[in-house]
Amino acid sequence: MFKPVKITDNIYSVGCRDWDIRDFHGYSTYSGTSYNAFLILDKQNVLIDTVKKEFADELLDNISRIIDPSKIDMVISNHTEMDHSGALPAVMNTIGKDKTVLCSKMGLKNLKSHFSSALNLKSVEHGEKISIGKHTLVFLETKMLHWPDSMFTYAKEDKILFSSDAFGQHYAGDCTFDDEIGESVMDHAAKYYANILLNYSSRVQDLLKNVSDSGLEISMICPDHGIIWRDNPGKIIQAYDRWSRQEPVKKAVVIFDTMWNSTAKMAREIAKGVESSGVNVRLMNTRKCHRSDIMTEVMDAKALIVGSPTLNNGIFPVIADVITYIKGLKPKNKLAAAFGSYGWSGEAVKILNKEFQDMGMEIVDDGLKVQYVPDKDDLNKCFEMGHKIGQKIAETC
224 binds ligand FEO (CB under 6 A): yes
83 binds ligand FEO (CB under 6 A): yes
What type of residue is 64?
A: S
Residues involved in catalysis = 25, 79, 81, 83, 146, 165, 192, 225
18 binds ligand FEO (CB under 6 A): no
52 binds ligand FEO (CB under 6 A): no
Nearer to ligand FEO, 23 or 366 (CB): 23
Residue at shortest CB range from ligand FEO: 81
Among 18, 49, 141, 165, binds ligand FEO (CB under 6 A): 165
CB 176 within 8 A of CB 227: yes
Taking each helix axis from N to C end, the angle separating 185-192 and 233-245, rounded to the nearest 10 degrees, works out to 40
Task: Output the furthest CA–CA distance in the chain (Å, rounded).
Answer: 78
84 binds ligand FEO (CB under 6 A): yes
For ligand FEO, the binding residues in 117-146 under the rule CB under 6 A are 146
Nearer to ligand FEO, 36 or 308 (CB): 36
291 binds ligand FEO (CB under 6 A): no
H helices of the chain, in order, are 56-64, 82-85, 88-95, 105-114, 178-181, 185-192, 201-214, 233-245, 262-276, 291-299, 317-329, 348-358, 376-396
The residue range among 48-56, 80-88, 271-279, 388-396 that interacts with ligand FEO, by the rule CB under 6 A, is 80-88
CB of 165 to ligand FEO, least distance (A): 4
Question: Of the candidates 236, 222, 233, 237, which has an alpha carbon nearest to the alpha carbon of residue 37?
Answer: 222
170 binds ligand FEO (CB under 6 A): no
Among 188, 225, 251, 369, binds ligand FEO (CB under 6 A): 225
Question: Of the candidates 43, 47, 38, 8, which has an alpha carbon nearest to the alpha carbon of residue 132?
Answer: 43
The residue range among 59-67, 76-84, 300-308, 384-392 that interacts with ligand FEO, by the rule CB under 6 A, is 76-84
Count interface residues toward ligand FEO (CB under 6 A): 9
Among 28, 31, 34, 79, binds ligand FEO (CB under 6 A): 79
Q: How far apart are the first and last CA of the chain?
A: 47
d(CA 104, CA 152) in angstroms, rounded, equals 10
81 binds ligand FEO (CB under 6 A): yes
Provide the 8-state DSSP code for 338: E
d(CA 341, CA 76) in angstroms, rounded, equals 55
Interface with ligand FEO (CB under 6 A): 79, 81, 83-84, 146-147, 165, 224-225
